[in-house]
């Protein structure tokens, strides 16, 4: 009997351990493995509240277990009438005051962090100067995300490139229903409301990486497929990416003939909704760096078959309820392949999601991005910036 | 005991609260009015949030003229007073006078309702200010229309009570019904005072 | 007219009796049947949801159908299962606990039930009319405005109808408690279940009108071209969120307070001790209700209200933990020094304490506004509110049902099966929902039709689905128990649990007039007082006399049926407006019929009461 019990216990302990280990999730998605300033702050708060609350739970459980075992009816005592206590002022005061104190301990950092996370003022760098802010206009649409870099003349969809170690500010609005922008491992979420209720937040990644973003507010049938990525690259790489992206006009002629045919078909059938290069057109996702995307439509493996199916069926079954099903085009199989060939040439930059994962660190203070500021900077500093420093990520 | 309920004449001082049923009605109705208060508070909140969302439609300054609304206010406030007289006569066990004052209340209520309908028609025809014109128009018609619907319901209620009891006279069974209907009428009146202030006065001034 | 008489009566007359009844005990049974039916329906929907989420990238059901299931699961469980089941308990027990022969408004009470019933049926007709609502039980605009088909119309109007019923039930209980208490039953002698039901009714009264308005606005926008939530026309979608949560948060307390009341009855009974800190329990109940109205925006931390509003609502929300904590400790100290019998209702109560504590703990964590940016709309929230609603409300409902079953039906559910039910359900519940805390933190948002492979979410979703099957198995055991018990029909005494409150001083099931003579209440826990200080019988406060009873009426049924028919006309419009005309005519006609008739009820005569022998209070 005893051996059996201990075996059960061992199995139990092992499975609990396994659960705990798997209980932290994947670093690119889990709020329990913070990789950014916001997520780290929130993690502190979560730990604090968990500790306080576990203490309360323990106290309750100790009393509970004691009471249930100690005062359970014993044989022969069925008729025992216990003393009918009315209450106790001392005890009742005790369990009113102690929780109040515990809650105050939690309330203070809560208020502090609530304000800290809503702080949209520029960061102050080591020299005590205010950093230039990178603002990105985020638009949520059923079921994809659109990003316009303010003042940088860059438009992307589905993937948002940010430099590490620096806050990037988001100004968010929805074109249709309410969405919610959530990158668990980098920052908490914020709702993306339609007209009139624009929201602002910052995201900051402390490590390079490809982080998954999710839509967290029910927005229709494909709510669960409205994923996006945050590509956090080192500042130097980001600067390069910006330069590369700024160069794209959408009129670059691809090398191969098929791709050229594809480009023509693309302008006839797709361009009305999908822009290549910076453009205010956001009827459909911007495709400037399409070939570099980590996933197709945010969630599907980036394969030719998937891409073919998407164009052929307009994603009808892949993302139920998506708006592309209303697109009027009608393409032959061959034409679709030509378009695919063209789309696969849309790779303007060497900085891709892979750059975020390989961990080559290139430093920069990003001053090149803000021309006015650049004039004031002296030559030396600029040279330093151009130097490429390879650093291993931890 | 049951027969006593339907006997008219010689009623106690507060006939509306003389029986348990009456007391229940009296109390229950006060609570109902509490719920109605939340209902109108929610509508007022919505209206306040949308009162400047006129899009391309007319704004409150362009629409509202205080003359008509003032007249409506006077009429409705007076009707509240006449219903007080009716209740006064109920407590004095004077059924005929009660019916008379209730009749006057009904006439005033109808006049109010008529003016309100005239007002709406005026907005729709002369200003092209329909229900679907803007968020402001929707909120305006919903709030004021909800009140109007309450007035209409109150009128139907009082009229049916008057008709129903015309031959029966006043007794312990129907006294609480009259009383509760008059409470309802006062409530409608109070809501109108708020509408007059928040919708019309603020609409013209602010 | 008692249940036994009904069994002898033919099916037709029994049916007619229930369609027209105004007896609170029969209305309780109607609520019970309606509530259990919808509970099973909601449970079935939950099972389909969990099967869909058993593995990543599952294609078991379509995205559209998933959204419909998820919406209807929430709506059904809150409005059509939990609330009616609580109303079943309140109707069955509350008048007996205060020594009343009836509720204040028997007619309105029946009307409340039929409105709930027809509203619920109307909502579910949507399944067969082109698809159920698919926008979540919160129906956030503008998704609910853009949603195609008529699903959301059914949602708005169905909930509107059943909401009217709830409002009426609330007013009825408030007045019953204030006006109908027996001599000696002062407010501070009322059993806690009566207290909490009373406070919950007050919450209903002040919370439901906000929902009424919200649903009206939604209806006007969808069906009559209104612009409340249309951003293009200057509308503002956040208004819906405010209205919904001004209702929605008190709703949580409307559900949980009566459950608190149930446990506050069961724990003293089976500990053989009076409730520890009775007055602080009452105070805590009132305080929770009061604070419950000031915290709605904690559902909206991520909406962008700004740090000031978020901080205020965060701190206010945390404050609710204090009175809730008081309650937990009072229950613990009621058992302290007691003589605890582990009957099945008590086992439910004992399970409730830790599960609800976990629910409360995660509630405080959620109240921390900044941290909520991670928790919000993730499975953490799903886990939290299921710990509160299932671990609190549902355990409370079943504990109460088992506890008061003898009082409602005169029979006793099989204890062994009750324990089986409990363990299956309790283990299943924890398996299902405990891991969901982690799923949320690991990055799984709620209302997800699919989760993707290789994101570390597979194992916990599988565990969760397995747990759901345990819960289903437990529920089946309960149903089996109910059927077997009722078929056997073994009668029990008036006081099978050796309990303390007034309702146990009369026979089970009680005669239709409840108390032959109005009882005299001589203290808190009146029956216990009489057991210790008297002869164990409740003393009468009046000599035997005629009893006044209300007449049955078919009007509540017709009135509600009229609205049900009219609702189709409003939804489909066009030539269907005819239906609206017919329906509203039926409703108005029923109201007029009710108003025009002199309905004075009838009297049971003293002589007939004497003939019934010693059915005295005890």
Distance CA C329, CA C336 (A): 10
Sorting pLDDT into bands at 50, 70 and 90, what band is A377? very low
B97 belongs to a structural domain: yes
Specify the higher pLDDT residue, A197 or C421.
Answer: C421
Residue C610 has pLDDT above 90, yes or no: no
Lowest mean pLDDT among A348-357, C58-67, C405-414: A348-357
Distance CA C433, CA C423 (A): 15
Mean pLDDT, rounded, of chain C: 94
> What's the domain count of chain B?
1
Model pLDDT, residue A368? 79
> Which residues in chain B touch residue C603, judged by CB atoms under 8 angstroms apart?
1-2
Closest CA to C84 of C73, C76, C72: C76
Cβ pairs bridging B and C (under 8 Å): 124
Give the CATH number of the domain where residue C270 resides: 1.20.210.10
Model pLDDT, residue C600? 86
Is residue A173 within 8 Å of residue A192, measured between CB atoms?
yes
B79 belongs to a structural domain: yes
Distance CA A283, CA A175 (A): 10
Distance CA A232, CA A210 (A): 6
Mean pLDDT, rounded, of chain A: 88
Mean pLDDT on A68-95: 91
C192: which 2 tokens? 């806690």
DSSP 8-state class, residue B198: I
B99: which 2 tokens? 């019916």
pTM confidence score: 0.93
* Residues sharing a CB contact under 8 Å with residue C583, sequence separation 6 or more, in sequence order: C561, C562, C563, C564, C565, C566, C567, C568, C569
Peptide bond into A143 cis (omega under 30): yes
Distance CA C64, CA C62 (A): 5
Q: Which long-range contacts (CB under 8 A, 24 or more apart) does B12-15 make?
A: B13/B91, B14/B91, B15/B90, B15/B91, B15/B93, B15/B170, B15/B171, B15/B172, B15/B175, B15/B176
* Interval A299-310: pLDDT, tens: 999 999 999 999
Residue B120: count of CB within 10 angstroms of its CB = 18
Sorting pLDDT into bands at 50, 70 and 90, what band is A297? very high
C439 belongs to a structural domain: yes
Inter-axis angle of helices C151-179 and C83-97, nearest 10: 10
CA C385 to the chain's CA centroid: 15
> Which residues in chain C touch residue B20, judged by CB atoms under 8 angstroms apart?
179
Strand order of the β-sheet with A209-215 is A159-163, A228-233, A209-215, A179-183, A187-192
* Interval A113-152: pLDDT, tens: 999 999 999 988 888 888 889 999 999 999 999 999 999 9
DSSP string, C356-387: HHHHHHHHHHHHSHHHHHHHTTBHHHHHHHHH
Is residue A31 within 8 Å of residue C443, measured between CB atoms?
yes
* Interval C37-58: pLDDT, tens: 999 999 999 999 999 999 999 9
Is residue C382 within 8 Å of residue C361, measured between CB atoms?
no
C319: which 2 tokens? 């404050």
Residue C410 — left, alpha, or beta (φ > 0 → left; ψ -120 to 50 → alpha)? left
Residue C538 has pLDDT above 50, yes or no: yes
Widest distance between CA atoms in chain C = 79
Inter-axis angle of helices B20-50 and B175-195, nearest 10: 20
Residue A385 has pLDDT above 60, yes or no: no
> Which residues in chain C touch residue B132, judged by CB atoms under 8 angstroms apart?
224-227, 233
Closest CA to C149 of C577, C572, C573: C572
Alpha-carbon distances of C306 from A115, A116, A139, C100, C292, rounded to whole Å: 9, 11, 20, 50, 21
C453 belongs to a structural domain: yes
Query: Does C2 touch chain A if contact means CB atoms closer than 8 Å?
Result: no
Chain B nearest-CA residue for C602? B2
CB < 8 Å from C in window 138-167 of B = 138-139, 142, 160-161, 164
Q: Which chains touch A (3 or more CB pairs under 8 A)?
A: C
Q: Cα angle vertex C23, ends C197, C507, to 5°?
A: 85
CB < 8 Å from C in window 192-211 of A = 193-200
C105 belongs to a structural domain: yes
Model pLDDT, residue A143? 93
Is residue A140 within 8 Å of residue A218, measured between CB atoms?
no
3-state class (DSSP) for residue C164:
helix
Model pLDDT, residue A25? 86
Model pLDDT, residue A77? 86
Is residue C371 within 8 Å of residue C346, measured between CB atoms?
no
B49 belongs to a structural domain: no
Model pLDDT, residue B1? 45
C19 belongs to a structural domain: no
CB < 8 Å from C in window 320-359 of A = 320-321
DSSP string, C255-296: HHHHHHHHHHHHHHHHHTSPPTTHHHHHHHHHHHHHHHTT-G
Closest CA to A232 of A118, A348, A359: A359
> Which residues in chain C touch residue B28, judged by CB atoms under 8 angstroms apart?
104-105, 108, 171-172, 174-175
CB < 8 Å from C in window 114-133 of B = 131-132
* Interval A82-116: pLDDT, tens: 999 998 999 999 999 999 999 999 999 999 999 99
Sorting pLDDT into bands at 50, 70 and 90, what band is A5? low
DSSP string, C57-99: T--SS-HHHHHHHHHHHHHIIIIIIIHHHHHHHHHHHHHHHTT
Model pLDDT, residue B205? 85
Distance CA B61, CA B59 (A): 5
Inter-axis angle of helices A89-117 and C307-319, nearest 10: 160
Q: Rounded to a whole number, what is the distance in Å from the CA of C199 to chain B's nearest CA?
A: 13
In which domain, by residue range, is B99 found? 66-206
> What's the domain count of chain C?
1
B23 belongs to a structural domain: no
CB contact under 8 A, A73 and C340: yes
In which domain, by residue range, is C468 found? 24-531+539-553+599-611
CB contact under 8 A, C596 and B38: no
Sorting pLDDT into bands at 50, 70 and 90, what band is A17? low
Q: Which long-range contacts (CB under 8 A, 24 or more apart) does C24-28 make?
A: C24/C91, C24/C92, C24/C95, C24/C102, C24/C103, C24/C106, C24/C109, C25/C91, C25/C92, C25/C408, C25/C509, C25/C510, C25/C512, C27/C91, C27/C109, C27/C110, C27/C113, C28/C87, C28/C88, C28/C89, C28/C90, C28/C91, C28/C92, C28/C408
CB burial of residue A41 (10 Å; 0-12, 13-18, 19+): buried
CB contact under 8 A, C172 and B6: no
B14 belongs to a structural domain: no
Distance CA C569, CA C554 (A): 23
Residue C416: count of CB within 10 angstroms of its CB = 10
Residue C155: count of CB within 10 angstroms of its CB = 28
Query: Does C171 touch chain B if contact means CB atoms closer than 8 Å?
Result: yes
* Interval C401-446: pLDDT, tens: 999 999 999 999 999 999 999 999 999 999 999 999 999 999 999 9
B184: which 2 tokens? 């309802």
Give the CATH number of the domain where residue B200 resides: 1.20.120.80
Residue C275 has pLDDT above 50, yes or no: yes
Nearest to B20 among C167, C179, C243 (CB): C179
Residue A72: count of CB within 10 angstroms of its CB = 14
Tens of each residue's pLDDT in chain B, 206 residues: 445 777 776 778 888 888 889 999 999 999 999 999 999 999 999 999 999 999 889 999 999 988 999 999 999 999 999 999 999 999 988 999 999 999 999 999 999 999 999 999 999 999 999 999 999 999 999 999 999 999 999 999 999 999 999 988 888 888 999 999 999 999 999 999 999 999 999 999 87
Is residue C565 within 8 Å of residue C583, measured between CB atoms?
yes
Residue A379 has pLDDT above 70, yes or no: no
Distance CA A341, CA A334 (A): 11
CB burial of residue B152 (10 Å; 0-12, 13-18, 19+): middle
C225: which 2 tokens? 């071209």
Q: Which residues of C210-248 are buried (b: 16+ CB within 10 A; e: fewer)?
A: bbbbbbbbbbbbbbeebbbbbbebbbbbbbbbbbbbbbb
Model pLDDT, residue B16? 83
B7 belongs to a structural domain: no
* Residues sharing a CB contact under 8 Å with residue C273, sequence separation 6 or more, in sequence order: A82, A83, A84, A85, C334, C335, C337, C338, C339
C7 belongs to a structural domain: no
Mean pLDDT on A273-278: 94
Interface test with C, best of A62, A76, A99, A211 (most C CBs within 10 A): A99
C2 belongs to a structural domain: no
Model pLDDT, residue B3? 56
Model pLDDT, residue C42? 97
Chain B nearest-CA residue for C222? B132
Counting every residue written for chain B, the total comes to 206
């Amino acid at each position: 009997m005893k051996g059996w019990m201990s075996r059960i216990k061992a199995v139990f302990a092992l499975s609990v351990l396994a659960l705990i280990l798997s209980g932290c999730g994947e670093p690119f998605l889990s709020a329990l493995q913070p990789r950014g300033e916001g997520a780290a702050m929130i993690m502190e708060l979560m730990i604090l509240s968990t500790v306080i609350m576990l203490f309360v739970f323990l106290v309750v459980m100790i009393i509970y277990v004691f009471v249930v075992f100690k005062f359970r009816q014993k044989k022969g005592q069925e008729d025992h009438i216990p003393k009918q206590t009315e209450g106790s002022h001392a005890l009742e005061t005790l369990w009113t005051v102690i929780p109040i104190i515990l809650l105050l301990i939690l309330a203070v950092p809560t208020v502090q962090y609530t304000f800290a996370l809503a702080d949209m003022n520029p960061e102050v760098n080591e020299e005590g100067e205010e950093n230039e802010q990178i603002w990105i206009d985020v638009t949520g649409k059923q079921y994809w995300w659109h990003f316009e870099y303010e003042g940088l003349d860059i438009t992307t969809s589905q993937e948002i490139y940010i430099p590490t170690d620096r806050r990037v500010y988001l100004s968010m609005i929805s074109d249709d229903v309410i969405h919610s922008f959530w990158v668990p491992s980098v920052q908490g979420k914020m709702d993306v409301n339609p007209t009139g209720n624009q929201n602002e937040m910052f995201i900051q990644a402390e490590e390079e990486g490809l982080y998954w973003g999710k839509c967290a507010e029910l927005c229709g049938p494909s709510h669960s497929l409205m994923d996006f990525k945050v590509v956090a690259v080192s500042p130097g790489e980001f600067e390069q990416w910006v330069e590369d992206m700024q160069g794209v006009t959408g009129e670059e002629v691809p090398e191969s003939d098929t791709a050229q045919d594809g480009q023509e078909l693309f302008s006839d059938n797709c361009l009305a909704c999908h822009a290549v290069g910076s453009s205010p057109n956001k009827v459909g996702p911007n495709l400037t760096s399409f070939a570099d995307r980590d996933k197709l439509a945010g969630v599907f493996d980036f394969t030719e078959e998937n891409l073919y199916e998407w164009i052929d069926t307009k994603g009808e079954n892949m993302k139920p309820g998506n708006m592309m099903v209303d697109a009027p085009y009608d393409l032959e199989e061959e034409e679709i392949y030509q378009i695919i060939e063209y789309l696969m040439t849309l790779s303007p930059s060497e900085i891709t999601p892979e750059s975020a994962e390989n961990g080559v660190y290139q430093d920069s203070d990003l001053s090149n991005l803000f021309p006015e500021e650049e004039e004031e900077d002296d030559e030396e500093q600029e040279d330093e910036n151009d130097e490429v420093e390879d650093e291993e990520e931890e | 005991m049951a027969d006593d309920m339907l006997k008219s004449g010689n009623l106690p001082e507060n006939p509306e609260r003389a029986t348990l049923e009456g007391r229940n009605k009296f109390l229950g109705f006060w609570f109902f009015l509490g719920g109605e208060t939340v209902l109108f508070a929610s509508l007022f909140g919505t209206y306040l949030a949308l009162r400047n969302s006129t899009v391309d439609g007319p704004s409150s300054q362009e629409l509202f003229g205080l003359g008509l609304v003032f007249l409506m206010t006077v009429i409705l406030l007076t009707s509240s007073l006449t219903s007080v007289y009716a209740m006064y006569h109920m407590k004095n066990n004077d059924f005929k006078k009660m019916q008379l004052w209730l009749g006057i209340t009904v006439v005033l209520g109808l006049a109010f309702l008529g003016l309100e309908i005239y007002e709406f028609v005026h907005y729709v025809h002369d200003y092209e200010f329909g229900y679907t014109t803007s968020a402001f128009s929707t909120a305006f018609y919903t709030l004021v229309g909800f009140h109007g619907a309450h007035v209409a319901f109150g009128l139907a209620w009082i009229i049916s009570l008057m008709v129903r009891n015309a031959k029966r006279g006043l007794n312990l069974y129907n006294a609480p019904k009259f009383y509760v209907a008059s409470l309802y009428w006062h409530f409608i009146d109070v809501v109108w005072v708020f509408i007059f202030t928040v919708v019309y006065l603020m609409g013209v001034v602010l | 007219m008692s249940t036994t008489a009904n069994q002898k009566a033919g099916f037709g007359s029994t049916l007619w009796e229930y369609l027209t009844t105004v007896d609170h005990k029969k209305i309780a049974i109607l609520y019970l049947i309606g509530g259990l039916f919808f509970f099973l329906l909601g449970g079935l929907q939950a099972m389909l949801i969990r099967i869909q989420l058993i593995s990543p990238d599952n294609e078991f059901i379509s995205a559209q159908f998933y959204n419909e299931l998820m919406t209807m699961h929430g709506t059904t469980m809150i409005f059509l299962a939990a609330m009616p089941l609580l109303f079943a308990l309140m109707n069955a027990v509350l008048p007996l606990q205060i020594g009343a022969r009836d509720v204040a408004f028997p007619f309105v009470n029946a009307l409340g039930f039929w409105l709930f019933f027809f509203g619920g049926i109307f909502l579910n007709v949507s399944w067969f009319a082109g698809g159920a609502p698919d926008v979540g039980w919160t129906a956030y605009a503008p998704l609910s405005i853009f949603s195609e088909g008529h699903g959301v119309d059914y949602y708005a109007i169905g909930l509107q109808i059943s909401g009217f019923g709830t409002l009426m039930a609330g007013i009825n209980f408030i007045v019953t408690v204030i006006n109908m208490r027996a001599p000696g039953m002062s407010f501070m002698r009322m059993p806690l279940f009566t207290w909490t039901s009373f406070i919950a009714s007050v919450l209903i009264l002040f919370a439901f009108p906000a929902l009424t308005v919200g649903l009206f606005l939604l209806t006007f926008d969808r069906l009559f071209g209104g612009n409340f939530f249309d951003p293009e026309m200057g509308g503002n979608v956040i208004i819906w969120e405010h209205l919904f949560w001004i209702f929605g948060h008190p709703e949580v307390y409307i559900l949980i307070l009566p459950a608190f009341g149930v446990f506050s009855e069961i724990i003293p009974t089976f500990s053989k001790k009076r409730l520890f800190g009775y007055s602080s329990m009452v105070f805590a109940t009132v305080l929770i209700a009061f604070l419950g109205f000031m915290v709605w925006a904690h559902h909206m931390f991520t909406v962008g209200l700004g740090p000031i509003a978020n901080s205020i609502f965060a701190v206010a929300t945390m404050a609710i933990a204090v009175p809730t904590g008081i309650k937990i400790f009072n229950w613990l100290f009621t058992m302290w020094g007691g003589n605890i019998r582990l009957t099945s209702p008590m086992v439910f109560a004992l399970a409730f304490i830790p599960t609800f504590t976990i629910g409360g703990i995660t509630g405080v964590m959620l109240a921390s506004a900044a941290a909520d940016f991670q928790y919000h709309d993730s499975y953490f929230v799903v886990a939290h509110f299921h710990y509160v609603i299932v671990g609190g409300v549902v355990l409370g409902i079943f504990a109460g049902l088992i506890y008061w079953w003898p009082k409602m039906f005169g029979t006793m559910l099989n204890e062994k099966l009750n324990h089986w039910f409990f363990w299956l359900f309790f283990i299943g519940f924890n398996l299902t929902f405990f891991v969901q805390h982690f799923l949320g933190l690991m990055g799984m948002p709620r209302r997800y039709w699919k989760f993707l492979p290789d994101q570390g979410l597979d194992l916990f979703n599988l565990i969760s689905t397995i747990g759901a099957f345990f819960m289903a198995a437990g529920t089946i055991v309960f149903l089996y128990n109910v059927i077997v018990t009722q078929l056997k029909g073994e009668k029990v005494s008036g006081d099978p649990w050796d309990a303390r409150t007034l309702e146990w001083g009369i026979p089970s099931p009680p005669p239709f007039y409840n108390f032959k003579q109005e009882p005299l209440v001589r203290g808190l826990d009146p029956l216990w007082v009489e057991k210790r200080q008297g002869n164990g019988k409740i003393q009468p406060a009046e000599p035997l006399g005629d009893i006044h009873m209300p007449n049955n009426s078919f009007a509540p049924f017709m009135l509600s049926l009229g609205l049900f028919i009219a609702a189709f006309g409003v939804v489909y419009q066009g030539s269907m407006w005819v239906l609206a005309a017919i329906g509203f005519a039926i409703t108005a006609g029923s109201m007029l019929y009710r108003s025009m008739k002199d309905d004075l009820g009838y009297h049971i005569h003293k002589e007939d009461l004497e003939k019934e022998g010693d059915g005295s209070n005890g």
